[in-house]
Structure 1
Amino acid sequence: MYVTRDRALTAPAHDTAKVVAELRDRAEITDALYRFGLGQDLKDKELFASAFAADAELDFRPAASKWGAKPPLMSGRDTIVTTILAMFTGRVDTTHQITNVRITIDGDTARLTALVEAQHLLTADRTTHALLKNPYDVDLVRDGDRWVIRRLRIDNTWYTGNPAAIFS
């Protein structure tokens, strides 16, 4: 699952133009995942939607299986945005911290792996919460000057709290 190359950049160090282009791509690729997290945290539909390709897939099944849930595979940007924001808006406060980002780029496609710590608190009962440490496996595509998520698979390494109460 993890991108495990022995270096970040593939552009030759002496080729400044290629290095700059690769650094820009890497920043935009990482930003797609930041838009995913912050869009949820702010309940900002436009920001959240901007993270996804129109034909995106979000697979939360590997993570949810750890606590016995069986969510469907979400397909299509509109379905993902509507489903996630409807599940959380007015009911759950979230924060997402994204670390250990690793990226490979192949032309107009890329793969990103990261660790995401996601805190979820019920707004009506702050004692009901779930803290999740999730490995993300992400396929992205170039969309003009930015990158968007085509496929996002979320697994879970550990959790505390009660995810079943949050993701109901």
Structure 2
Amino acid sequence: MMNSNDTADKFAVIETLYRFAAGIDLRDRELLASAFVENAVSDFGPAAAKAGFEYPLLQGREVIVAALSDSLSGFDTTHSVSNPRVSLDGDKARLEAIVEAQHLPSNDHSRHYLMKNRYDVQLARQGEVWRIERVTVDNVWRTGDLAVLAVV
């Protein structure tokens, strides 16, 4: 049976992915950075491969924040998190969720690229806050104009 501490931790773990998504969508680098440990790893490779391109493994919070912020600067995006499942193990956690990522060129909302992705996230508690140690993103399906992603 789950106790109230487990419930609070599970919500806090999910909130970490919300900070990640909101940081991207609001173009708030500080908020985005708050979701990651300093030596975090971000792997969008599986999702990128299904879309037909390569995306490098990103290592380190500053590298991740700069790469995501810069590569998405020409877009209006919305990231919606659903179906989160959290498992806890002391100060470590694993989060699996579905994230829908909509990308529209900032200067042309008549075009879009929409991805439904599976996120596999490993997290660590740092003080009172949970942060991402590693995130791997795989694609479930995608639709729209792939050329939109070539805008940047």
Asked if Structure 1 and Structure 2 have the same fold, meaning a TM-score greater than 0.5 normalized by the shorter chain, the answer is yes
1:150 aligns with 2:133: yes
Aligned alpha-carbon RMSD (Å): 1.2
Q: Which residue of 2 aligns with 1:166?
A: 149
Task: Give the one of 66, 69, 73 matched to 1:85.
Answer: 69
Higher strand share: 2
Task: Give the one of 6, 26, 43 matched to 2:27.
Answer: 43
Q: 1:164 to 1:56 in 2, by over 3 A?
A: farther
Q: Distance in 2 between matches of 1:146 and 1:20?
A: 17
In structure 1, the gaps of 5 or more residues are 1-9, 12-18
Task: Give the one of 118, 122, 126 matched to 1:135.
Answer: 118
In structure 2, the gaps of 5 or more residues are none
TM-score (norm 2): 0.95
Percent of aligned positions that are identical:
45
Which residues in structure 2 correspond to 1:119-130 (within 5 Å)?
119-130=102-113
TM-score (norm 1): 0.86
Counting matched residue pairs gives: 151
Larger radius of gyration between Structure 1 and Structure 2: 1
Q: Which residue of 2 aligns with 1:7?
A: none
Alpha-carbon contact 1:67-1:164 (below 8 Å) kept: no
Alpha-carbon contact 2:104-2:148 (below 8 Å) kept: no
